[in-house]
Chains A and B, each alone.
Chain A
């Protein structure tokens, strides 16, 4: 396996994103307008509601952000990458880049949401960790599913249908973890089982992505 290509591929993703800034701004606008809708509706969410709304925003924004990662390049260009790089490296670059993108989006959503509603989060370090874990998990699942969906020519709905059942356990665990962030800093909370489960699920998914991605790629 040729890992040398990883950095150039990552770089390529960033450059591509920057060239198609309108897509990126679209997602940012999506997050901001969702938060704004909640503000307009003048909801004063209780902590559990806050948790649900926040993760729903993240979920939908993530799907929209990741969906385009395989369709924005033409088939000819994909063939070119296929000759240049190992599929595993290629998908790893995409997963890493998407994880970074989702983390940024998560940060944006947190800030925007905290501005319009009073955020119940008390432990910011744990919350950041949760967000990072969530970005990585969502990135793995959505990148892979969008690779499948890109082969069928009807995208966004198919990605949503295919990935909801897959990310549901991840989402539930993340919501439990972030609910733990609402307790005051002094109180002991048990977060390790959740973190461990998430890491285990991520490890399984990554292994599967590595094994299965070449089969999607081959055409």
Chain B
């Protein structure tokens, strides 16, 4: 496990600077405002996850209710 993580960190450490150096002019298409699309998707994802968390809380409440009844 530790080795896998180490490999991954090493890989990141080696490849990210390379990515920066290579695409420095336009890192991940940022001149094209791609980060806006990512932000939009993140907003939608977080919204849905937030709703699911709320749903889970209600479900837990219901489970407690059932447990108390039984």
A–B interface present (Cβ within 8 A): no
